[in-house]
Structure 1
């Protein structure tokens, strides 16, 4: 699924961001959502009931140090 979000056209993906601050940290969360049914049918043939896929990217900054995680 990660490959899909890297290569899909921007028109097929919806984005949302959230910023959180507290306890000596700042965190940015980015949500990417796609309902590209053609890609889903071709690439997940055993799971035809999937209607959308999502990816969450978390970028925390704790005491000046940044990291990143994608789920």
Structure 2
């Protein structure tokens, strides 16, 4: 086998893997965007699962919604 036909980017069997390329700005922004989408979907799921309706207070001011009126 001749080494003349091997390109410089061809890996030789048994040779160590080349060093990985460090992340750039583009990859970092993509990872941050994906994390934000996952967080937003998780928050929406929690919001929907907890019964997001707030209690409706129909008592007049100074009275509790349940029970006798408050005394001063």
- TM beyond 0.5: no
* Higher strand proportion: 1
Larger Rg: 2
TM-score, scaled to structure 2? 0.20
